[in-house]
Structure 1
Amino acid sequence: MNETNTTERLERFLNFYNNLSQNNLDSLAELYATNVEFIDPVHHMLGLEQLQQYFSHAYARLSSCHFVATSQIANQDQGCLSWVMTFTHDAIGNGKPISVHGCSIVHWNSEGKIAYHRDYYDLNEMVLQHIPLLGWVTNKIKQKMAKEA
C-alpha cells in the first residue's frame, strides 16, 4: 500500500467521525472489524456490539462534535492521528463548546477495517475541569504539582 492510500485511510477515519451521529451509528460496521478492541481513558471494549452501545450512549446527549487533524502518520497496518475535538454536551460545561487535544492509534486488519483503536486524551481537559467543585480541585492539584516541579 502506498503513502496516499494510508493517508486516505486516516482522512476517511476523520471524516467518518465528523459525520457520526445518533442517526447513523449502524455505519460503524463499515469502519470497524466485528472483533474490534477499543480503548480510551474511561473504557475498554471488545467487539463491534459493545462499541455501538458505547457510541449510542455517548451520542444520546451530545449536541455537536467536530475533529480537526493536527498531524498524522501511517503505514499499511497502523496509523496515528493527532486531533483537536470540539464538542458541546448539555451535561458538561453548561453546553458551551469544549476543545480537547488527543490522538488516536488505529490498526487495520487485512480487510482494511479497524481492528484496534486507542484514544489518548486528558480526561481533566474533557470533563473534570468543567464540573465546578472538581474543576477547582484539579486546578489546585495542578498548581501544587507545578510548584514542586
Structure 2
Amino acid sequence: MDPRAQAIVTLFEQLQPTDIERLGRHYDEAAYFRDPFNEVHRLSAIQAIFAHMFETLEAPRFKVLETLVEGDQCFMCWDFQFGLRGRAQAIHGSSHLRFGTDGRVVYHRDYWDAAEELYEKLPLVGALLRLIKRRMRVPQRFSET
C-alpha cells in the first residue's frame, strides 16, 4: 500500500485522544476538512473536530475496509463505531483525501448519509424519515430488471 495512505489508515484505526496534538504529522497546517456537519480550513479546527468526537462519543473507533490510491488522491471506505448514551452505533462511510507534496493531507472530505446513519435511528425524527423514504421508494415491480 502507498506509504502515505498506510500512515493515514494506521492513524485512524489506532486514533486516541493523545494523537490529536500530533495530527500535524499527517495534516498540513492549511488542510481543508468537510463532513456532513463541519467544514473547516486549518489544522487547529480539524483537531477541534476530533477532540469533540472523543468528548461526546463513547469509545469511537474507525475500521478502514478498503483503500484506493491514484497519484495524490486517496479514497477510503470505513466503518465508524461508537457509543452514544450507552447504545452502540455504527456509520458506514468513505473519505476522499488529497496529499500535498510533503505527503501530508491537504484535503479531507467525508461522505456518509447522516439521515440513514443517524437521524433514522432517532425515535420521532426517525419514524418520519422512514415514512418519507418508504413513500419515495420505487415500487418493487418497477425496480426489477
Give yes or no for contact 1:67–1:83 (8 Å, CA) kept in 2. Answer: yes
Segment drifting more, 116-125 vs 48-57: 48-57
Equivalent residue number for residue 30 of structure 2? 35
Q: Is the 8 A contact 1:64 1:89 kept in 2?
A: no
The list of structure 1 runs, each at least 4 consecutive aligned residues, that deviate by more than 4 angstroms after superposition, is none
* 1:46-61 pair list within 5 angstroms: 46-61=41-56
What is the CA distance between 1:147 and its match in structure 2?
Answer: 4.6
Letter of the 2:126 partner, please give it.
G
If each structure's helix is expressed as a fraction of its own residues, which one has the higher value?
A: 1
TM-score by length of 1: 0.84
Of 75-84 and 18-27, the range deviating more from structure 2 = 18-27
Q: Does 1:101 align with 2:92?
A: yes
Distance 1:99 1:111 in 2: 33
Instruction: Report sequence identity in percent.
Output: 25
Count of residues paired in the alignment: 140
Residue equivalent to 2:108: 117
Provide the rounded CA distance (Å) in 2 between the counterparts of 1:37 and 1:107. Answer: 10
Looking at structure 2, the residues matched to 88 and 10 of structure 1 have their Cα atoms a distance apart, in angstroms, of 27
Cα RMSD of the aligned pairs, angstroms, is 1.7
Deviation at 1:125, TM superposition (A): 3.1
Amino acid across the alignment from 2:21: D
Letter in 1 for 2:83: T
Counterpart-to-counterpart distance in 1, 2:51 and 2:81: 19
Structure 2 counterpart SS, 1:20: coil
Structure 2 residue 65 is the aligned partner of structure 1 residue 74: no
Q: Could you tell me which runs of 5 or more consecutive residues in structure 1 were left unpaired when the two chains were aligned.
A: none
Counterpart in 1 of 2:130?
Answer: 139
CA distance in 2, matches of 1:53, 1:143: 37
TM-score (norm 2): 0.86
SS at 1:99 equivalent: strand
